[in-house]
A = this chain, B = another copy of it.
Amino acid sequence: MSLIVMKFGGSSVGTTERMQRVARRIVENRDAGHKVVVVVSAMGDTTDDLIDKTRELNPNPPAREMDMLLTTGEQISVALLSMTIHALGREAVSMTGWQAGILTEALHGKARITDIQPERIHAALNDGGVVIVAGFQGMTDTGEITTLGRGGSDTTAVALAAAIEADVCEIFTDVDGIYSTDPRVVKNARKLDEISYDEMLELANLGAAVLHPRAVEYAKQYNVKLVVRSSFNHNEGTTVKEEAVMEQGIVVSGIAFDKDVVRISILGVEDVPGVLAGVFGALADGGINVDIIVQSGVMEGKADFSFTIGSGDRDKAMAIIEGNRDHVPYRETTSEDGLVKVSIVGAGMVSNPGVAAKMFRVMAETGVSIKMVSTSEIKTSCVIEAGPLQEVVRALHTAYGLDTAGQVFVGGPSERR
C-alpha cells in the first residue's frame, strides 16, 4: 500500500466527461489499496470568467479580494470531483486550502507556503476516503485566504506530498512526460524515463510548460519523487528525482529553446560601481524579465553590455533605459529582434569537457552565427537568428545522441495555474 498524491490541472476536469475520467483514475488507485490525496485546479475557464466579472466593477481590485474571489474556482472543482467519486460508489472528502492545513505568508496573489498541518488529511485518509484538496490556495495565520500565484496547484501537490511523506507525487498533464526536445520540431524526440531536479529546473526555466519551477524546487528541497504523466493514457511518464539514472554515453539530456527573443545592447557606459545594478534594478522595477546578460570587457573606462528579454517588452525596456540616462549615462543603445535562444541541458556536462565546444561546432557546420553565449554547470545557451532554429535543434539532437538513446525535454501546451 502506497500513499499517493495525484495532481490534475484545470483542463483535465474542464468537462463532465473529463471530470468522470479523472474520478475513475483516482478510484483505480484507491481500489488497488493505496491511500490517495488529490489536488485539483479550477475547471477550464473558471478563473478567467471570475476575472472578467471584476472588470466593470473595479479594474484594479485589491489583491485580498481577488484571492477571496478566485479561490472559489478550486472550491467548486473539489466539490464536484468529490461528488463524481461518490457517484462511483466510493468515499471522498473535499477540502479547501485552509481545511487541508495549508498555511502561507500574508502576501495576497503570490503567497508562499510556510507550513502544512496535515492532521485533518490523515484523519480523512484513515476513515477510508479519498481526500480532494483545492490547489493554488492557503490561509495566513490570521485566517486570511491567500493564493499561491503561478504554478500554485503544482506547488500545493508537492508541498502536500512532502508534508504527508507520500511515496510519489503524480502530476497529470496533457503530454506523456518530459521529452528530449519539442516533438513538434524534432520528430524523433524521445520521452525521458528519468531526469534530475536540476535538469528539470533548467528545462523549466527555459520554457517547459509541463511543471512549474517553484514546484520542482520544492520537490528538490524535500526530496519528493515526482512523476509527470498523461491524464489521457496509462503510459509510464517521466520520473523527476534526485539522482536520475544516467544512460551510457548521454551527457546532454535535452535541447530546449525560447522563441521571440530580443537582444538589447547599451554601448559606451561609464564603468563606475553600481552601474549594472542601476540599469537592471530599473528594468526589474518595471516588471521586465531579463534573461541572459553579457558584459564583454571594459575599454578606456567605458563598458558595452547586452542582455535578452522577451520581444513584447522591447519598447518598455528601451524607454526605461532612456529615462534612466541621467543616472546611467551611455553613448548609444542598439537592439535586435527576430532571435531565439537554444540551450543544451544535462547533469553530465559538468564532468565532460568539450560538450559546449561540440555545440559551437554544430552551429558552425549549420552556418549559424552565434550572437550571445551563456553557460552554467548543467546548461549552455546560445542566442541565434530565428530562421535556422529547427535545423539547429535537429542537428544538436542528433549530435548529442538523443535520436537513438533517451534523455529529455520540453514543450506541449500547459494546463498550469
Query: Which A residues lie at the B interface, using CB under 8 A?
Result: 16, 19-20, 50, 53-54, 56-59, 61-62, 64-66, 68-69, 71-72, 75-76, 78-80, 82-84, 86-87, 93-94, 96, 99, 120, 143, 145
Q: Which residue of B lies closest to A81 (CB)?
A: B57
A65 touches B86 (CB 8 A): yes
Chain B residues contacting A120 (CB-CB under 8 Å) are 143
Chain B residues contacting A94 (CB-CB under 8 Å) are 65, 68
B56 touches A83 (CB 8 A): no
The complex is assembled from copies of this chain, and their number is 2
Listed A/B pairs (13) with beta-carbon separation below 8 Å: A53-B80, A54-B80, A57-B84, A59-B87, A61-B86, A61-B87, A68-B79, A69-B75, A71-B75, A72-B75, A72-B79, A75-B75, A96-B145
Bound CA–CA A61/B120 (angstroms) = 22
- Closest beta carbon of chain B to A203's beta carbon, Å: 36
With A99-B143, A120-B143, A143-B120 already in contact, the answer to whether A69 and B58 are too (CB < 8 A) is no
A83 touches B99 (CB 8 A): no
Q: Which of B19, B20, B58, B69 contacts A86 (CB 8 A)?
A: B58
B83 touches A20 (CB 8 A): no
Q: Which residue of B lies closest to A134 (CB)?
A: B68
Chain B residues contacting A19 (CB-CB under 8 Å) are 57
- Closest beta carbon of chain B to A20's beta carbon, Å: 7
Q: Which residue of B lies closest to A142 (CB)?
A: B120
B69 touches A79 (CB 8 A): yes
Chain B residues contacting A80 (CB-CB under 8 Å) are 53-54, 57, 65, 69
Interface centre among A69, A120, A145 (most CB of B within 10 A): A69
Chain B residues contacting A56 (CB-CB under 8 Å) are 16
Bound CA–CA A20/B69 (angstroms) = 17
Q: Which residue of B lies closest to A50 (CB)?
A: B76
Interface centre among A56, A78, A79, A82 (most CB of B within 10 A): A79
Chain B residues contacting A145 (CB-CB under 8 Å) are 96, 99
- Closest beta carbon of chain B to A220's beta carbon, Å: 32
